């Protein structure tokens, strides 16, 4: 058994592999034999040492994995060996075998594949949390989605359509126009078009009901300007801090220095809200669990279906991450640990 390890902060050359020593799970824990692990943008940031919530190096990344329970610790109820689960690992999911608290192993319905399960947790959970739980998404709403072709972006578009949102505006690189349009969004080329103008134009000058912004820095202010009265902005990332597979402190500093300070009085006068969202710091795991329950039901009804860009053998993890650095993914990237 092997797992991926980030040896120190830096580029792709800092990624290594190490053996996993399996022991009997501690009480209230289960061991999962992993089939698929999801790659998230945050994994790139933490490899570069730009992610505050990450453990100290060396560590194994990976928020989510799907697989089968291979051993059960004392006191665990309701789970059995061989059961197919989604493991919300927190960290450590990039591994052939991982031990987690039993409550973080979510049983999968027979109809859900390991690919769909590993593509559902973080991306759909985050999109649902912002748009539905915080944002009170309604039929007829208009929504601005950045990174529209990525993991969270594709999930957000599907959730919006399932709730009857009508005006979806999605920004991405120019090569993704057809893909973004196929998801029901008005495509905006992030490098050559003004998304604020497009949002205003598509809503008769009012602006959109919600905007989800993972770019950060001064980009947040433009997303805020795209909102209507009563609109909500979700700040949930800082992708502008990353300029490639090597760490650039210049990009990180530029993002941080250009981050706006929202003034509550101005927000009051314009009837707009700003949410900060960090799914790793919800503090109440039952919130995320209930999102996953709602999403499983939507998946079973065919309202959502994770879009898998590609599945890479785990030993090719550096190539898989380079694929994301190169902005080539359309949907979710997975690692194969089976
Ligand atoms: N706060 C939370 O709890 C939370 C949870 C999940 C995700 N997130 C954030 O949501 C965003 C999306 O996450 P994801 O995992 O679904 O990733 P993703 O959107 O699939 O990420 C890859 C895509 O991001 C776009 N991108 C923008 N800036 C980039 C850069 N500097 N380097 C490489 N690609 C860049 C590229 O597409 P285009 O350039 O074509 O748009 C690329 O294809 C990330 O910022 C992530 O940190 C936050």
Could you list the pLDDT tens digit for every one of the 338 residues in the chain?
999 999 999 999 999 999 999 999 999 999 999 999 999 999 999 999 999 889 999 999 999 999 999 999 999 999 999 999 999 999 999 999 999 999 999 999 898 999 999 999 999 999 999 999 999 999 999 999 999 999 999 999 999 999 999 999 999 999 999 999 999 999 999 999 999 999 999 999 999 999 999 999 999 999 999 999 999 999 999 999 999 999 889 999 999 999 999 999 999 999 999 999 999 999 888 999 999 999 999 999 999 999 999 999 999 999 999 999 999 999 999 999 99
Residue nearest ligand 1's atom 18 by CA: 150
**For the segment 33-73, what is each residue's pLDDT rounded down to a tens digit?**
999 999 999 999 999 999 988 999 999 999 999 999 999 99
The Cα 266–Cα 125 span in angstroms is: 31
- Residues carrying CATH 3.90.180.10, the chain: 2-119+306-336
Region for residue 297 given its phi and psi (left: phi exceeds 0; alpha: psi -120 to 50; beta: otherwise): alpha
Fold assignment, 2-119+306-336 = Quinone Oxidoreductase; Chain A, domain 1 (3.90.180)
Strands 332-336 and 308-313, sheet pairing: parallel
- Residues carrying CATH 3.40.50.720, the chain: 122-280
**For the segment 14-30, what is each residue's pLDDT rounded down to a tens digit?**
999 999 999 999 999 99
Burial tier of 83 (Cβ tally within 10 Å: 0-12, 13-18, 19+): middle
CA distances from 25 to 33, 100, 288 (A): 13, 9, 24
**For the segment 74-98, what is each residue's pLDDT rounded down to a tens digit?**
999 999 999 999 999 999 999 999 9
Residue nearest ligand 1's atom 20 by CA: 150
Predicted confidence at residue 53, as pLDDT, reads: 86
The model carries a pTM of 0.97
| CATH among 3.40.190.10, 3.40.50.720, 3.90.1200.10, 3.40.718.10 for 122-280 | 3.40.50.720
| Ligand 1 shell residues, CB under 6 Å | 40-42, 122-123, 126, 147, 149-153, 172-173, 176, 190, 214, 236-237, 239, 242, 277-279, 324-325, 327, 329
């Amino acid at each position: 058994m092997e797992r991926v390890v980030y040896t120190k902060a830096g580029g792709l050359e800092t990624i290594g592999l190490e053996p996993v020593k399996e022991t009997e799970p501690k009480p209230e824990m289960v061991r999962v034999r992993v089939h698929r692990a999801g790659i998230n943008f945050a994994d790139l940031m933490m490899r570069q040492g730009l992610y505050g919530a990450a453990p100290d190096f060396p560590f194994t990344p990976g928020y989510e994995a799907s697989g089968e329970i291979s051993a059960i610790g004392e006191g665990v109820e309701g789970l059995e060996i061989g059961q197919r689960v989604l493991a919300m690992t927190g960290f450590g999911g990039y591994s052939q075998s991982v031990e987690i608290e039993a409550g973080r192993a979510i049983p999968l319905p027979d109809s859900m594949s390991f690919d769909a399960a590993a593509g559902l947790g973080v991306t759909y959970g985050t999109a649902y949390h912002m748009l539905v739980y915080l944002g009170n998404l309604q039929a007829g709403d208009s929504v601005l989605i950045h990174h529209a072709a990525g993991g969270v972006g594709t999930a957000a578009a599907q959730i919006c359509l399932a709730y009857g949102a009508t005006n979806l505006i999605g920004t991405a690189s120019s090569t993704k126009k057809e893909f973004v349009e196929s998801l029901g969004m008005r495509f905006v080329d992030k490098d050559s078009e003004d998304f604020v103008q497009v949002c205003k134009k598509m809503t008769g000058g009012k602006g959109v009901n919600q905007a989800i912004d993972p770019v950060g820095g001064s980009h947040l202010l433009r997303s805020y300007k795209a909102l209507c009265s009563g609109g909500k902005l979700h700040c949930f990332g800082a992708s502008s801090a990353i300029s490639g597979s090597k760490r650039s402190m210049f990009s990180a500093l530029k993002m941080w220095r250009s981050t706006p300070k929202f003034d509550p009085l101005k927000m009051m006068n314009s009837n707009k809200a700003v949410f900060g969202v960090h799914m790793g710091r919800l503090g109440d795991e039952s919130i995320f669990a209930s999102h996953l329950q709602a999403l499983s039901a939507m998946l079973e009804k065919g309202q959502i279906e994770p879009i898998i860009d590609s599945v890479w053998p785990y030993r090719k993890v550096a190539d898989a991450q380079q694929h994301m650095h190169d902005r080539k993914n359309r949907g979710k990237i997975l690692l194969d640990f089976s």
